[in-house]
Structure 1
């Protein structure tokens, strides 16, 4: 009985060992299969990485305008096996490969590797134009502007007794004609440069318009009315005569007196035109304690005096000033607003040249001279 039981135990143990062996074998087989899959995935991953890298290199080269360049390794692999064998046998087992394109900054380097970056064009500084902003501006469709200028005002009103003769007043006007004047200039440019660099047209346009407003501002202030010139503000302004007769006025005092002069002529001053240097002379004036009169230097002080805007412009000479009621004193008429046109002149067509012209047509009527006061600070001899 005992021996029989022992035989059964041995058989069960043997069976369990066989099952365990089979399980271990299955595990090993599965591990082996997994290793194969991993190896295959690694191989496919490396292949994909190489393809992506090649595509990226080709895309970068095409972005710079050139054809994709064969890398040293790809050129080497691309050789036929027979050619490599022949090369190896003829060179003692050694093969030398040369890269066809030299990697430099020239345009022939694998499709111009170093392409310059186009930054914004740097132009010369431009002056701010603000004299026009003080004037009343009207659009006109005529080449001549007419207006009635009052020359006489003889008011004689008084109290009148019943049945008495009423006093007579007298007014007179003069009809004036103001012709429009053309301000213009031009520049030549080749058709090729306008086609190859479109931004040049915009730059020329901007520069030509800037030239117009420069000339306009000078004419608005100092046009002498001769020939094709405008009749400007300064030649028509009243000379500054200090109504306060101050004994030792500084620059700010003189501006205050000029404002008073215009006010006493029954006009409401609305602006001051001076040179930028004169504005900064006043801006840096200090009191007896060393404090800046027109405000702390750390603060942003908008140019103004006595509540009126100050227009600092280099069109006004140093040491001069013009104070006035500009909206009352003068009217600016726009017949042609600034325009830029392109055309051919003479044999320009056969030479691939064009003329770019900028022009405007304006008229200025200074109607009230006593609304302007022009003076000298006396700082410059």
Structure 2
């Protein structure tokens, strides 16, 4: 019944299309005749011609769409009940292959998975067999765990490299003999010494395994895996930038190289805020202007909640739209920093990140036995180096005297 109705519609449109074509032909003849006779045509005739051409285009498009729809419906009817072998034999690849003379080779035929299997997929522990990640209807999106805000990279000067290591020349000694001299006297000689330092490029990477079916049937899940994989990479990167010990494949992070807190003087009734200020002074005395402060969120909350004798907040302001700052510098809160400790310094001058390769996401079906098991391997990785030019430009220590005593 549906096929007959569709055929009737195509027939009606075909008749209408023929009528419109005849009308366009007549108008075209009039247009050509008047143009030849007078060298111009009336605005009314131009309007009629434009209208007829528009109707012709619309009718032609509608007929084409209906014919395509009819073809699709015929394909559905013809493919009902076909198994994989039927699809193979009916494929154009199979039909066009010369099978005489002992044919050998391979043909790839794509078939809608619904024609092959309707089996469900089990993913991960805690998900029972027979439940599907590709239901008929689902609330959009995936409920994600909270992500740590990553900010250490934003403090450090960025850079690029095309090598497996980064070399830089560092001044290691300066004997300054400059002094006032009398006219004609021999000028004093000063000395500079340099040394070549190398920091290697390190790779941070991990892989995920996923079935071919789930990656094809749940594209949102594939995107989610990519996003989580990238976050996992950055999570480790932040820890490495701060705490990497430089052994094995670890970066040589800032904290292991930073200078220990050694205040120029002891403040009366010293608080955590006082200690940070004295650390900033230590950086300044090393001839570097500090550009940021790194604290664990717990320690920053304690500082923000510090009150004066009248119960007024000294640092914190619950209604301030300005981000965390202390002594005029931005405060970075990260759990990559151990509670009870602080780090401050000239992040923009004393260190630099060199990206050898940004975050790269690759997918393969030919890893190990993935082809046999219809699995996919996702590899997510990045390559970078960290150069700490001046360890004295960074100062670290305990955030307060109570922590020190403990």
Taking structure 1 as the reference length, the TM-score comes to: 0.68
* 3-state secondary structure, aligned to 1:253: helix
Query: d(CA) in 1 for partners of 2:347 and 2:319?
Result: 32
In structure 1, the residue matched to 2:275 is: 254
Q: Deviations over 1:261-288 (max 9, x none)?
A: 1011110000000000111001111111
In structure 2, the residue matched to 1:148 is: 169
Query: d(CA) in 2 for partners of 1:117 and 1:346?
Result: 34
Query: d(CA) in 1 for partners of 2:334 and 2:219?
Result: 33
- Residue 115 of structure 1: how far off its partner (Å): 6.1
Consecutive unaligned residues of structure 1, counting only runs of 5 or more, are 1-113
In structure 1, the residue matched to 2:213 is: 192
Q: Deviations over 1:11-40 (max 9, x none)?
A: xxxxxxxxxxxxxxxxxxxxxxxxxxxxxx
Q: Does 1:329 align with 2:329?
A: no
Query: Quick one: which of 180, 183, 201 aligns to 2:204?
Result: 183
Alignment length (residue pairs): 268
Query: d(CA) in 2 for partners of 1:156 and 1:182?
Result: 45
Q: Deviations over 1:217-238 (max 9, x none)?
A: 1110111111111111011111
- Residue 301 of structure 1: how far off its partner (Å): 4.7
Q: 1:117 to 1:229 in 2, by over 3 A?
A: closer
In structure 2, the residue matched to 1:350 is: 372
Q: Deviations over 1:141-189 (max 9, x none)?
A: 1111111011011111112222211111000110112110001111100
Query: d(CA) in 2 for partners of 1:198 and 1:290?
Result: 54
In structure 1, the residue matched to 2:392 is: 370
Query: d(CA) in 1 for partners of 2:327 and 2:272?
Result: 13
Q: How does 1:1-12 map to 2 (within 5 A)?
A: none
Query: d(CA) in 2 for partners of 1:339 and 1:248?
Result: 51
Q: Deviations over 1:277-331 (max 9, x none)?
A: 1110011111111111124423345210011000000000001000101111111
Taking structure 2 as the reference length, the TM-score comes to: 0.64
Q: Deviations over 1:187-236 (max 9, x none)?
A: 10010000010011111100110011111111101111111111110111
Q: How does 1:48-59 map to 2 (within 5 A)?
A: none
Q: Does 1:119 align with 2:140?
A: yes
Query: d(CA) in 1 for partners of 2:175 and 2:294?
Result: 33
Q: Does 1:232 align with 2:257?
A: no
Query: Quick one: which of 281, 287, 297 aligns to 1:266?
Result: 287
* 3-state secondary structure, aligned to 1:129: coil
Preserved contact between residue 295 and residue 301 of structure 1 (Cα < 8 Å): no
In structure 1, the residue matched to 2:191 is: 170
Query: d(CA) in 2 for partners of 1:360 and 1:223?
Result: 16
Structure 1 stretches of 4+ moved >6 Å: none
Consecutive unaligned residues of structure 2, counting only runs of 5 or more, are 1-134
Query: d(CA) in 2 for partners of 1:321 and 1:291?
Result: 25
The alignment's C-alpha RMSD in Å is 1.4
Q: Which moved more, 1:299-308 or 1:162-171?
A: 299-308
Q: Does 1:285 align with 2:281?
A: no
Preserved contact between residue 271 and residue 324 of structure 1 (Cα < 8 Å): yes
Preserved contact between residue 329 and residue 367 of structure 1 (Cα < 8 Å): yes
* 3-state secondary structure, aligned to 2:288: coil
* 3-state secondary structure, aligned to 1:349: helix
